[in-house]
Amino acid sequence: MITCIGIACSPRRQGNTSLLLEHALEGAARGGARTELIALSDYSFMPCQGCNACSSDGECILKDDMQQIYQKLLAADRLILAAPIFSMNLNAQAKALIDRSQRFWSTKFILKRPVITDATARPKRAGIFLSTCGTAFPDMFDCAAKVVRYYFDMLEIKYEGGHFYWRIDAKGAIINHPTAFQEVFEAGRRLVSQG
Ligand SMILES: Cc1cc2nc3c(=O)[nH]c(=O)nc-3n(C[C@H](O)[C@H](O)[C@H](O)COP(=O)(O)O)c2cc1C
């Protein structure tokens, strides 16, 4: 059975991106995956300190809740990352998650070792990105999507695209969107059905 994890990066419980994630994970479950929703706000971890210790062994020396998330990231076959736009980019919690994943970047690009050591024995990893923003500026998701593509590459996860919703600002405003929940449900189902 494929394992699909969803990471909710917004600090807002039951906020727009978390609601999207719930529907996407429902789709993944309908597609036959074992799913888990990880709310980042339940975990306490420091921002990356830039010590570069991971460049010598691919490990992070900070012993906090991120150690649990590392294990989940490594074990997952599918990843759905859900994060809102704050100040034209990913919100700080999502960025902290990515910065703290520097150990995987070091593994791949400095130590030149695979992040997933048993990749041939596992389903190919793939993921999608879900986001909302308050404004209607067409390029509002450009920076965030770029960072998430970089992140997925670091994690040896094929980026299967993003689902972005503009003019969604108040908590729960996404509920009134005519197609969003159905779209991400289908995206979640598709994600676990391929490969
Ligand atoms: C600190 C902060 C910064 C924000 N910056 C932007 C922004 O640069 N562009 C934008 O369109 N919306 C911005 N927003 C609006 C959020 O992207 C929007 O409310 C989103 O739907 C929140 O998702 P959530 O409910 O999952 O947290 C910002 C909101 C906050 C709280």
Residue located nearest, by CA, to atom 22 of ligand 1: 84
CB of 140 within 6 A of ligand 1: the answer is yes
Q: Which of 9, 16, 20, 86 to mutate to test ligand 1, by most ligand atoms within 8 A of the CB atom?
A: 86
Radius of gyration of the chain, Cα coordinates, nearest whole angstrom: 16
Q: Give the residue-averaged pLDDT of 84-112.
A: 98
Task: For residue 136, give the ligand 1 atom closest to its CA.
Answer: 11
Give the C-alpha separation, 132 to 122, whole Å.
Answer: 32
**pLDDT digits over 106-154, tens only?**
999 999 999 999 999 999 999 999 999 999 999 999 999 999 999 999 9
- Could you tell me the distance, in angstroms and rounded to a whole number, from the CA of residue 72 to the centre of ligand 1? 27
Give the C-alpha separation, 140 to 113, whole Å.
Answer: 35
- For 55, the enclosing helix (H) or strand (E) is helix 54-57
pTM of this prediction?
0.98
CB of 124 within 6 A of ligand 1: the answer is no
Say yes or no to pLDDT of 194 above 90: no
- For 24, the enclosing helix (H) or strand (E) is helix 16-30
- Could you tell me the distance, in angstroms and rounded to a whole number, from the CA of residue 40 to the centre of ligand 1? 17
β 85-86/89-90 pair status: antiparallel
- Could you tell me the distance, in angstroms and rounded to a whole number, from the CA of residue 87 to the centre of ligand 1? 7
- Could you tell me the distance, in angstroms and rounded to a whole number, from the CA of residue 17 to the centre of ligand 1? 10
pLDDT for position 195: 64
Domains, the chain, with CATH or none:
3-193 (3.40.50.360)
CB of 84 within 6 A of ligand 1: the answer is yes
Cβ atoms of 95 and 135 within 8 Å: the answer is no
CB of 10 within 6 A of ligand 1: the answer is yes
Task: For residue 135, give the ligand 1 atom closest to its CA.
Answer: 11
Give the C-alpha separation, 126 to 2, whole Å.
Answer: 11
End-to-end CA distance of the chain: 13
Give the three-state DSSP class for 94: helix
Task: For residue 15, give the ligand 1 atom closest to its CA.
Answer: 25
**pLDDT digits over 37-74, tens only?**
999 999 999 999 999 999 999 999 999 999 999 999 99
Cβ atoms of 164 and 20 within 8 Å: the answer is no
